[in-house]
Chains A and B, each alone.
Chain A
Amino acid sequence: MDKLRLKFAKTGRAVYISHLDLMRTMQRVFSRAGMALKYSEGFNPHAKISIILPLSVGTASLCEYMDFALEGEYDLKMLPERLGPYMPEGIAALEAYPAPCKGAELRWLRLEGLLRGGRDAAFYTGFFAKSPILVEHRAKRGVRTDDIAPAIRSARFTDVENGVRAELVLHAQEPTVSPELMMAALGENGPAYFRFTRLEAYKEDMTPFR
């Protein structure tokens, strides 16, 4: 079966697993479950799997997507249940289906987060309301300065008991802005501690990505 997609969540202790390690882990999950992933041809064959938007270490997600291909035929509806017992703690298979579109069509992400040890909600709201928002980041050739303002669709901040709650809708691919990059843009006004969770993915026109 070709061009399959798995939606999965990565939370709890699993948030510390890096992207590369996650790829290896997923391959092992399939082989433990007795399902053979399809391999590429050639001198150095590798399993044909790709995770659409690599997640940074430390960020949780309820909406990760992995494209893959399987040897043999399976009832896709049953797949999450079959994979479940073979997952490490914190990774949960949610849904498997034939990929209805290209992974590149995933354009927006809605996230929530908690910021602690920095400024208050009003400050962050003001900061991310302006344009441009310039941030330096390391690119292939030296350091580049980018304006991330156009990639932030919405950024709401509320003071809560233990810090500031953030609700964000960010452009995820071309251009890309991550919550980590936003925190970096804050410079010395940034929080001492933050953590984010991806909640939902959308296409360019804000219809749900599947």
Chain B
Amino acid sequence: MNEKIDALLRQVQRPARYVGGEYNQIVKDKADVDVRFAFCFPDTYEIGMSNLGMKILYGTVNEMPGVWCERVFAPWGDMAQAMRREDIPLWALESGDALDAFDIIAFSLGYEMAYTTVLDMLDMGHIPLRAKDRPGLKHLVVAGGGCICNIEPMAEYFDLCFLGEGEDVDREVIELYRQAKREGWDKPRFLRAAAQIEGVYVPGLYAVDYHADGTVAAITPTDGAPAKVRKRIVEDFDSAYFPTKPVVPSTEIVHDRVSLEVFRGCIRGCRFCQAGHTNRPVRSRKPETLLRLGKETLENTGYQELNLSSLSTSDYRGLSELCDGLLDYCRPRGISLSLPSLRADNFSMDIMQRVQQVRKSGLTFAPEAGTQRLRDVINKNVTEEDLLNSCRIAFEGGWNNVKLYFMLGLPTETDEDVLGIAELAKKVFWTWKQHAANKARGVRITVSTSEFIPKPHTPFQWEEQISRTEYLRRVDLLTGALARTKSVTYNWHDAEMSLVEAALARGDRRMGPVIERVWRSGGRLESWSEYFDLRRWLEAFPACGLDIDFYATRARPVEELQPWEHMDCAVSRRHLERERARAYEGALTPDCRAGCSGCGAASLLKEGVCRG
């Protein structure tokens, strides 16, 4: 650390997050390295270091000889200000070198609200924002993660994006880059060649035309780029790379524990859920593989907590066996096991009771909607009976803290559905009254609502988002209905951020300048409410000649060409349309195990059949 930086670190909160040097970090000799890769996470160290995808890529890329992947995070406000004041460029943690020392600058994008932070990090690293202003091969700016399924609003900033799971395609692109560097290719030649790799999207190779009303008229590939970019997956997930030697932070982060990814994809087809549709099909690891990986990672990190992660852990076939095996290892060592994302069913409650014998802090359920009618519309296969039954088991078992998550503004929602949330919460309370093991301790039931956001690649991608005023009216309605129920606390997330998220999620290429304008007026780290300011967005959209409601709240005709239709996430448009129609009929669609509904994802597998 040089003295200039040392002086800064003494003035800011929690400086340990800016210096690296953690256990298991990877340092290579620059003399042996021909490709330097900066893995940038457009959020704080505490968030980025909690991200499993980051650990996977850091590990796989560093396995490549001659390639050194380092970590870069967005500094908190105090540090960012100090760095700009002292003109210190953004640096990577391992070497301390500034961003412009790197060949490839890669961003992980899991959340639209991080877009302005991408621009901020590039600028803090003295890297030109737009792809067209980076003519050479050096400073190739790439991106991967969940947001790539519609990255159009950021299209002009990225040279290349990875659609789907990155572990294989990243390495292929790095190899190609190395060849290009060695043979002295120019950037257009490299990008043309990269676009031929499955899973690679080069935004600059597509021309987009618009109708007079602002909708997309055509998306045309050029220079031999594929008409549709097909997402990549790791087919054999059991033997897929898992980071058993992740960097162990020396300062506390959000998820400070081992996170074991039991499977990818989801067998459920909740119609609002983007991850559930873009990560298909399900691919699992064997319990014995997970047991081995879990033990190894615990030994290599010294963590005292292990978490089983996936989109819906209850659906893991080997869950019971895995939990028993892990408990045998963890119990005597005082290591705790946590199981988020469980469903409200008997099987899950049984596992829950075995696993969490000591800490009975809180149980979380996500019925998402207050009435059975609306739960059928969204294909959330949870009945009131399931939920109350799970609550009964929980209360009998000594739990006294239940959290219930709902969305407001789902398609077809009426006031009756909103009031149904209050009814359900009351029934949970009566269940406690009847079945609590120890009533003296009281009960805490928390109801949380957030606003429904229509997302690309879901059956609801064409739906409108209700206005903020309407959301607030429904919040008031629910507040009133819950007013006289003591023991039920109601939290609601403000819809300001949801409006911007909805606009970005379904945005097109014309939004690039909007994002820049918001960033220039101070927007960064906007997933943090203390840094988010809706006014900046409301000012930027019209200033760039666009209307935020055109993107966020407008219901889109099914015939309309959507800005992301050249992204092929393997679930067909036909399936999405069919699911949308079934939603309006209130018809449930079985999960993938009960019966394949022919979504198209099986075509990603060699045998063409899902076995999840």
Binding site for B on A (CB under 8 A): 12-14, 16-18, 20-22, 24-25, 27-32, 34, 36, 39, 45, 57-58, 86-90, 116, 192-193, 195
Q: Check if A30 sits within 8 Å of B334, measured CB to CB.
A: no
Known: A87-B23, A88-B250, A193-B7. A21 touches B16 (CB 8 A): yes
Q: Check if B302 sits within 8 Å of A86, measured CB to CB.
A: yes
Give the distance in Å from the alpha carbon of A25 to the alpha carbon of B302 in the complex: 9
Partner of B16, one of A18, A39, A193: A18
Listed from nearest, the 8 A-B pairs whose CB atoms lie closest are A28-B302, A13-B21, A89-B21, A31-B302, A32-B302, A16-B15, A16-B16, A88-B23
A12: nearest residue on chain B (CB-CB)? Answer: B21
B402 within 8 A of A: no
Q: Check if B299 sits within 8 Å of A13, measured CB to CB.
A: no
Contacts of B321 in A (CB 8 A): none
* Docked complex: B237-273 residues within 8 A CB-CB of A: 248, 250-252
B20 within 8 A of A: yes
Give the distance in Å from the alpha carbon of A36 to the alpha carbon of B335 in the complex: 12
How many whole Å from B468's CB to the nearest CB in chain A? 40
Q: Check if B302 sits within 8 Å of A17, measured CB to CB.
A: no
Binding site for A on B (CB under 8 A): 1, 3, 6-7, 9-10, 14-16, 18-23, 25, 248, 250-252, 299-304, 333-334
Q: Check if B19 sits within 8 Å of A16, measured CB to CB.
A: yes
Contacts of A31 in B (CB 8 A): 302, 304, 333
How many whole Å from B457's CB to the nearest CB in chain A? 40
Contacts of A30 in B (CB 8 A): 302
How many whole Å from B302's CB to the nearest CB in chain A? 3
Q: Check if A14 sits within 8 Å of B302, measured CB to CB.
A: no
B250, B301, B303, B304: most-surrounded residue (chain A CB, <10 A): B250
Q: Check if B23 sits within 8 Å of A17, measured CB to CB.
A: no
Contacts of B299 in A (CB 8 A): 32, 34
Q: Check if B301 sits within 8 Å of A16, measured CB to CB.
A: no
How many whole Å from B264's CB to the nearest CB in chain A? 28
B25: nearest residue on chain A (CB-CB)? Answer: A89
A57: nearest residue on chain B (CB-CB)? Answer: B15
A13, A18, A58, A195: most-surrounded residue (chain B CB, <10 A): A13
Give the distance in Å from the alpha carbon of A22 to the alpha carbon of B22 in the complex: 12
How many whole Å from B86's CB to the nearest CB in chain A? 12
Q: Check if B23 sits within 8 Å of A195, measured CB to CB.
A: no
How many whole Å from B178's CB to the nearest CB in chain A? 29
The number of residue pairs between A and B whose CB atoms lie closer than 8 Å in the complex comes to 78
B252, B302, B333: most-surrounded residue (chain A CB, <10 A): B302
How many whole Å from A35's CB to the nearest CB in chain B? 10
Contacts of A28 in B (CB 8 A): 23, 248, 301-304
Q: Check if A17 sits within 8 Å of B251, measured CB to CB.
A: yes
Contacts of B23 in A (CB 8 A): 25, 28-29, 32, 86-88
Give the distance in Å from the alpha carbon of A16 to the alpha carbon of B537 in the complex: 37
B302: nearest residue on chain A (CB-CB)? Answer: A28
A30: nearest residue on chain B (CB-CB)? Answer: B302
Q: Check if B9 sits within 8 Å of A58, measured CB to CB.
A: yes
Contacts of B304 in A (CB 8 A): 27-28, 31
**A–B pairs, 17, beta carbons within 8 Å:** A12-B1, A13-B1, A14-B21, A16-B9, A17-B16, A18-B251, A21-B16, A25-B23, A25-B250, A27-B304, A31-B304, A45-B334, A57-B10, A58-B10, A89-B25, A193-B7, A195-B6
How many whole Å from A6's CB to the nearest CB in chain B? 16
Contacts of A24 in B (CB 8 A): 252
B14: nearest residue on chain A (CB-CB)? Answer: A18
Contacts of A32 in B (CB 8 A): 23, 299-302
A33: nearest residue on chain B (CB-CB)? Answer: B302
A90: nearest residue on chain B (CB-CB)? Answer: B21
Give the distance in Å from the alpha carbon of A14 to the alpha carbon of B18 in the complex: 11
How many whole Å from B252's CB to the nearest CB in chain A? 6
How many whole Å from B585's CB to the nearest CB in chain A? 52
Known: A88-B21, A193-B3, A193-B7. A21 touches B251 (CB 8 A): yes
A195: nearest residue on chain B (CB-CB)? Answer: B6
B22: nearest residue on chain A (CB-CB)? Answer: A88
How many whole Å from A60's CB to the nearest CB in chain B? 11
Give the distance in Å from the alpha carbon of A57 to the alpha carbon of B21 in the complex: 16
Give the distance in Å from the alpha carbon of A69 to the alpha carbon of B148 in the complex: 51
Contacts of B1 in A (CB 8 A): 12-13
Give the distance in Å from the alpha carbon of A87 to the alpha carbon of B301 in the complex: 11
Contacts of B3 in A (CB 8 A): 116, 193
Give the distance in Å from the alpha carbon of A123 to the alpha carbon of B507 in the complex: 63
A56: nearest residue on chain B (CB-CB)? Answer: B10
Give the distance in Å from the alpha carbon of A29 to the alpha carbon of B302 in the complex: 7
Contacts of A25 in B (CB 8 A): 23, 250
Q: Check if B250 sits within 8 Å of A39, measured CB to CB.
A: no
Give the distance in Å from the alpha carbon of A193 to the alpha carbon of B4 in the complex: 10
Give the distance in Å from the alpha carbon of A16 to the alpha carbon of B10 in the complex: 8
B10, B20, B301: most-surrounded residue (chain A CB, <10 A): B10
Give the distance in Å from the alpha carbon of A120 to the alpha carbon of B299 in the complex: 52
Contacts of B16 in A (CB 8 A): 16-18, 21, 57
